[in-house]
Chain A
């Protein structure tokens, strides 16, 4: 991957973070939550984890940035799930 494409992916990742932050502040009013999963963030994170290993990695970066950017105390489990899926997909694709 060259520097320009990497920059593009980083910019999309940052925009994903911004969107996630804005979404979570609009949706949740309490400052912290435990054992509660946001379904939209989880779906986006899983799709992002899958796409990050394909030629559509830029979109994957945007989607996986969404749960990571959510307000403090939210989106942690969703991001970890997406990250694990991205890692497993990478290992599966590179094992053959």
Chain B
């Protein structure tokens, strides 16, 4: 893809709109599973616009510089991920680095507000860093198989050798669990569990909440795209319409998974993610011994 400014703007708008619609669809499907009519699929977009035009408020307990900065950092983090992954098709290691930065955003967002719910959400985001361990292991396994961590090289490898989904099912499963944990109402969604209101987002309101919503829509799109590119292959990501169709399919699967599973307790969530990391590490060891 030509990485001119116009293309990057085009891609950003596409990611935001598609991410918002998919998150709306996700919410609609969960509502149908629960026997409710559910909101229209543009509800996420309506929320974002509503918060964008609302008055901005600052809690008296908030540490204002950090309170504002984390929202801006969130959107910067995911815009960077979008450009590095989709436009430049660069390294998966940078994507991991960006994903780790997201943890700083969640932690800072929760702690800066001064709210006890926000603080618990921030602390839980540190626990849920366990979700990154399988991600590291997945990248290691991909490197052992394709001898590169560049998305462009992985796509080239798949165009010659076929989809990695069938060659590395355990890694694909681990990455899919990452998608599950990032999607709303996830069993691993301890950071924004309903027991702590909205977790780290509890005290963010108005324009700042809107910016975080925009970042989350872009994050959802970027993560789905990376999963499709790394595990399904170039014949999907080279056509925006087919990519969109596969993303809709993945969102339906994610909505069913999240709609039919209860929220795990924080320690169970971490334990399960570490178990998946252990599985992927066994896969990495096997590939090391067998020579890729």
Contacts and interface: CB of A to CB of B under 8 A. Distances in A.
Interface of A: 1-4, 6-7, 10-11, 14, 17-18, 20-21, 32, 68-73
Interface residues of B, number: 20
Dominant SS among interface residues on chain B: helix
B219 interface: no
13 contacts: A1-B241, A2-B240, A3-B7, A3-B10, A3-B14, A3-B240, A6-B240, A11-B17, A20-B40, A21-B40, A32-B37, A69-B40, A72-B37
A69 B18 contact: no
B39 interface: yes
B40 A10 contact: no
Nearest to A65: B42
Nearest to A14: B42
A17 B17 contact: no
B10 A72 contact: no
A82 to B, nearest CB: 15
A94 to B, nearest CB: 14
Contacts of A20: 40
Interface string B19-35: 00100000000000000
B45 A14 contact: yes
Contact of B42 (A4, A7, A69): A69
B11 interface: yes
A11 B17 CA distance: 8
B40 A6 contact: no
Nearest to B39: A72
Contacts of B37: 32, 72-73
Interface string B233-266: 0000001110010000000000000000000000
B42 to A, nearest CB: 4
B114 interface: no
